[in-house]
Amino acid sequence: MLISGIANPAGETEGYNGLHLKDGEIDEIISGRQMIGIPVKIEHKGVGVGTVVSAFKDEQGRLNCILDITDDEIEGAIAQQWVRDNTASELSLGYTVDINQSEPQGRLSAGRKKVLEVSLVRKGARKGCHIYSHPGKHPPGDPGLIKDWREAFGHPF
Structure confidence at residue 36 (pLDDT): 96
Structure confidence at residue 21 (pLDDT): 94
Q: What is the mean pLDDT of each run of 10 residues along the chain (157 residues)?
A: 93 90 95 96 95 94 94 92 91 92 79 94 92 65 56 53
The percent of residues in the chain predicted with pLDDT above 90, rounded, is 62
Nearest to 19 by CA among 120, 108, 122: 108
Structure confidence at residue 154 (pLDDT): 57
Structure confidence at residue 157 (pLDDT): 46
| CATH class of the region 2-153 | alpha beta
HSE of 81, CA atoms in CB hemisphere, 13 A: 7
The pTM of the full predicted model, rounded to 2 decimals, is 0.81
Strand pairing class (39-42; 108-121): parallel
Structure confidence at residue 9 (pLDDT): 94
Nearest to 117 by CA among 2, 17, 1, 8: 8
